[in-house]
Amino acid sequence: MRIAQTRIRNFRNLESALCEWHPGLNVLTGPNGAGKTNVLEALHVLTGWGAFSGSKCADTVRWKSEGGASLAAQVEGEHSAVVEAAIVARASLRLDGRACRWGDLRSCVQSLAFLPADMALIEGSPAVRRRFLDVLCALVFPLYAWKLSEYRRIARHRRYLLGRGHAPRFTDETMAGLAVWIWECRLEVATLLQKYLEKWSALLPRKIALELKRGGAGNADDLNEDFHRSLDLLAERERLSGVPLVGPHRDDLILSCEERLAGETFSRGQRRRAALALIMASASAVENRYRAAPVLLLDEVTSELDAEGRGILMNSLRESGWQVFAATAESSLPDFDGALWKLENGKIERVEPK
Ligand SMILES: Nc1ncnc2c1ncn2[C@@H]1O[C@H](COP(=O)(O)OP(=O)(O)OP(=O)(O)O)[C@@H](O)[C@H]1O
Ligand SMILES: [Mg+2]
Q: Which of 9, 10, 13 to mutate to test the pocket of ligand 1 (most atoms within 8 A of CB)?
A: 13
Which atom of ligand 1 lies at the shortest distance from residue 39's CA?
18
Helices H / strands E in the chain, number of each = 10, 15
Query: pLDDT at position 354, please?
Result: 65
Asked whether the domain spanning 120-290 has the same topology as the one spanning 1-110+292-354, the reply is no
Q: Where are the domains of the chain?
A: 1-110+292-354, 120-290
pLDDT number for residue 214: 95
For ligand 2, the distance from its centroid to the CA atom of residue 9, given in whole angstroms, is 19
Does 33 contact ligand 1 (Cβ within 6 A)? yes
- Topology of domain 120-290 in CATH is Glutathione S-transferase Yfyf (Class Pi); Chain A, domain 2 (1.20.1050)
**What is the fold, at CATH topology level, of the domain defined by 1-110+292-354?**
Rossmann fold (3.40.50)
Q: How far apart are CA 193 and CA 200, in angstroms?
A: 11
Q: Could you say which DSSP state residue 28 is in?
A: E
3-state secondary structure of 127: helix
**Distance between CA 64 and CA 61 in Å, rounded?**
9
Claim: this prediction has a pTM higher than 0.85: yes
Residue-by-residue pLDDT tens, the chain, 354 positions:
999 999 999 999 999 999 999 999 999 999 999 999 999 999 999 999 999 988 999 999 999 998 899 999 999 988 899 999 999 999 999 999 999 999 999 999 999 999 988 889 999 999 999 999 999 999 999 899 999 999 999 999 999 999 998 888 888 899 999 999 999 999 999 999 999 999 999 999 899 999 999 999 888 889 999 999 999 999 999 999 999 999 999 999 999 999 899 999 999 999 999 999 999 999 999 999 888 899 999 999 888 889 899 999 999 999 999 999 999 988 777 778 899 999 999 999 999 876
User: Residue 79's CB: how many other CB atoms inside 10 A?
Assistant: 10
